[in-house]
Amino acid sequence: MFYTIDILGTIAFAISGVLVAMSKKMDLFGILIIGFVTAIGGGTLRDLLIGETPVNWMQDITFTYVIIASAVFAMVFKNKINYLRTSLFLFDTIGIALYTLIGIEKGINANLHPVICVALGTITASFGGVIRDVLCNEIPVIFRKEIYATACVLGGVTYFLLSELPIKNDYVFVIAGVVVIVIRLLAVKFKIALPTIYSDEKT
Amino acid sequence: MFYTIDILGTIAFAISGVLVAMSKKMDLFGILIIGFVTAIGGGTLRDLLIGETPVNWMQDITFTYVIIASAVFAMVFKNKINYLRTSLFLFDTIGIALYTLIGIEKGINANLHPVICVALGTITASFGGVIRDVLCNEIPVIFRKEIYATACVLGGVTYFLLSELPIKNDYVFVIAGVVVIVIRLLAVKFKIALPTIYSDEKT
Amino acid sequence: MFYTIDILGTIAFAISGVLVAMSKKMDLFGILIIGFVTAIGGGTLRDLLIGETPVNWMQDITFTYVIIASAVFAMVFKNKINYLRTSLFLFDTIGIALYTLIGIEKGINANLHPVICVALGTITASFGGVIRDVLCNEIPVIFRKEIYATACVLGGVTYFLLSELPIKNDYVFVIAGVVVIVIRLLAVKFKIALPTIYSDEKT
Within 8 A of B143 by CB-CB distance, chain A residues are 21, 24, 26-27, 29-31, 33-34, 135
pLDDT at site B27: 85
Contacts of B172 (CB under 8 A, 6+ apart): B159, B162, B163
Residue B201's pLDDT is what?
42
What CA–CA distance (Å, rounded) separates C31 from C18? 5
Predicted local confidence at residue A42, as pLDDT: 93
**Chain B residues with beta carbon closer than 8 angstroms to that of C137:** 137
Q: Which residues of chain A have pLDDT under 50?
A: 200-203
CB contact under 8 A, A134 and C134: yes
Per-residue model confidence (pLDDT) at position B53: 86
Spell out which residues of chain C touch residue A138, defining contact as CB-CB under 8 Å.
137
The pLDDT score that the predictor gives to residue C194 is 66
Q: Is the pLDDT of residue B202 over 70?
A: no
Put simply, the answer to whether A58 touches B196 (Cβ < 8 Å) is: no
pLDDT score, position A195: 65
What pLDDT sits at residue C104?
Answer: 92
As a whole number, mean pLDDT of residues C119-131 equals 91
Taking only the tens place, the pLDDT of each residue in C152-184 is 999 999 999 999 888 888 899 899 999 999 998
Q: Do B161 and B192 form a contact (C-beta atoms < 8 A)?
A: no
In this predicted structure, what is the pLDDT of residue C91? 80
Domain residue extents for chain B: 2-202
- Which residues from B are below 8 Å from A when comparing CB atoms? 48-51, 110, 112-113, 115-116, 119-120, 130, 134, 137-140, 142-145, 149-150, 193-198, 203
The mean pLDDT of C50-73, rounded to a whole number, is: 92
pLDDT of residue C93: 85
Residues 6+ away with beta carbon under 8 Å from C175: C158, C162, C167
CA distance A184 to A146: 9
> What digits encode the pLDDT tens for the residues B64-99?
999 999 999 888 887 777 777 777 788 888 888 889
Q: Which residues, 6 or more positions from B93, have their beta carbon under 8 angstroms from its beta carbon?
A: B180, B181, B184, B185
Helix-then-strand count for chain A, H and E: 8, 0
d(CA C115, CA C156): 9
Fill in the amino acid letter for A18: V
Rg (CA), chain A: 17
What angle do helix axes A28-50 and A114-135 make, rounded to 10 degrees? 160
pLDDT at C195: 65
Interface test with chain A among C18, C19, C22, C26, by most A beta carbons within 10 Å = C26
Least confident of A6-15, A176-185, B35-44, B102-111: A6-15
State the DSSP code for C200.
G
Beta carbons of A195 and C28 less than 8 Å apart: yes
Looking at residue A117, what is its pLDDT? Answer: 94
What residues of A are in the C interface, CB distance below 8 Å? 48-51, 110, 112-113, 115-116, 119-120, 130, 134, 137-140, 142-145, 149-150, 193-198, 203
Cβ contact A142–C51 (<8 Å) = no
**ipTM associated with this complex:** 0.85
pLDDT band at C201, cuts 50/70/90? very low
- Chains in contact with A, where contact means 3 or more Cβ–Cβ distances below 8 Å, are B, C
pTM: 0.89
DSSP A45-69: HHHHHHT--S-HHHH-HHHHHHHHH
Contacts of B57 in chain C (CB under 8 A): 116
Model confidence at C203: pLDDT above 60: no
CA distance C6 to C140: 23
pLDDT exceeds cutoff 80 at C11: yes
Q: Which of B58-67, B192-201, C1-10, C57-66 has the lowest mean pLDDT?
A: B192-201
Nearest chain A residue to B110 by CA: give it.
Answer: A54
Give the neighbours of chain B: at least 3 Cβ pairs within 8 Å. A, C
A60's CB contacts (< 8 A; 6+ apart) are none
- The minimal CB distance from B143 to the residues A33, A57, A59 is found for A33
| CB-CB under 8 Å, B51 with C49 | no
Find all residues with CB under 8 Å of A173, minimum gap 6, and list them. A101, A105, A159
Mean pLDDT calculated for residue range B194-201: 60
A31 to chain B: closest CA residue: B143
**Which among A112, A115, A145 has CB closest to C27?**
A145
- Residue A202: the pLDDT is 43
Beta-carbon separation of B50 and A53 below 8 A: yes
pLDDT band at C118 (very low <50, low <70, confident <90, very high): very high
Interatomic CA distance for residues A52 and A48, integer angstroms: 6
Position with higher pLDDT, C30 vs A144: C30
Q: Pick from C53, C55, C127, C139 the residue to mutate for testing the B interface (most B CBs within 10 Å).
A: C139
CA dist C20 and B172 (Å) reads 51
The amino acid that residue C200 corresponds to is D
Q: CB distance A135–B143 less than 8 Å?
A: yes
| Nearest CA among C7, C9, C28 for reference residue C18 | C28
